[in-house]
Amino acid sequence: MKNPFEAFRDYFEDHPSKTSISKTGREQESNILPILPFFEKIREESTPLAAIVLNNTVIEGLYKKIIKLVENYAFSASQIEDFTYKLCLELIKAPFDSIKGGIFISALINTSPGKLFFLEIPDSNHLVHFLGYQLPEGKTIEIDGNTGDFLGTNLSGGTISVSGNVRDWAGTGMKGGRIVINGSCGRFACEWMRGGNFLVTGKIESLGKVIKGEIREHWRE
């Protein structure tokens, strides 16, 4: 059986513009400073961009490396929320940063004692990928703004709610849990989905190969 996480198609194709999101004064420096050195260390990793996009083993390896780096620090929900805003607004300098940044935020959330995370995504030139990667049962992420590709990849029981649009590969490999998109999502949604619930109030551009799970597209109902 072919690995569905290999040979992703047309990854860098342009997508519809994002909705406007107002700044609310997040990014408190006292909250962000303890996290920054860890992100800089991960950003310095020399893994080729193509490798991390095309190979699930590389993605999983990077995630485990971040987990090992941060698991003893247990950052709070407010710290992670403020860092996310800062990352989207200022810290993404290249496409690779948006990929690593999303996996990094996911690792922070999965090791945090917090259960509910409100991530405000500012209207900028960059979208973050892989938010909610391997989100476990008992944790909820509420996202205000548009997100990049691979939202909720390998979701294993948590809940992700998005007020905005999502790009391609949302719900890839999800095993359980729930994704609610109050907007539209792009191509290959729910690729290799094996369980859980995927609800979109707008349109799904196209579905990937779905093994099992519930998918609902409200605009058709």
Task: Name the one residue in this structure whose structure tokens are 């950003």.
Answer: 43
pLDDT at position 51 is 55
pLDDT at position 44 is 83
The DSSP output letter for 18 is P
CA atoms of 61 and 71, how far apart (whole Å) = 15
Domain ranges of the chain: 29-220
Q: What is the pTM of this model?
A: 0.85
pLDDT at position 119 is 97
Token pair listed for 149: 């590709």
Q: Torsions phi, psi of 200, nearest 5?
A: -125, 125
Query: Which is nearest to 144 in space by CA: 23, 17, 15?
Result: 23
CA atoms of 123 and 87, how far apart (whole Å) = 12
Query: Which is nearest to 38 in space by CA: 73, 90, 77, 85?
Result: 73
- Residue 180: strand pairing partners: 161, 199
Query: Which is nearest to 127 in space by CA: 161, 167, 187?
Result: 167
Query: Which is nearest to 145 in space by CA: 159, 160, 133, 157?
Result: 160
Express each pLDDT in 164-198 by its tens digit.
999 999 999 999 999 999 999 999 999 999 999 99
Single-letter amino acid code for the residue at 112: S
Segments of the chain with pLDDT less than 70: 1-28, 46-54, 219-221
pLDDT at position 43 is 87
Express each pLDDT in 13-42 by its tens digit.
443 333 333 444 555 677 899 999 999 999
Q: How many CB atoms lie within 10 A of CB 105?
A: 27
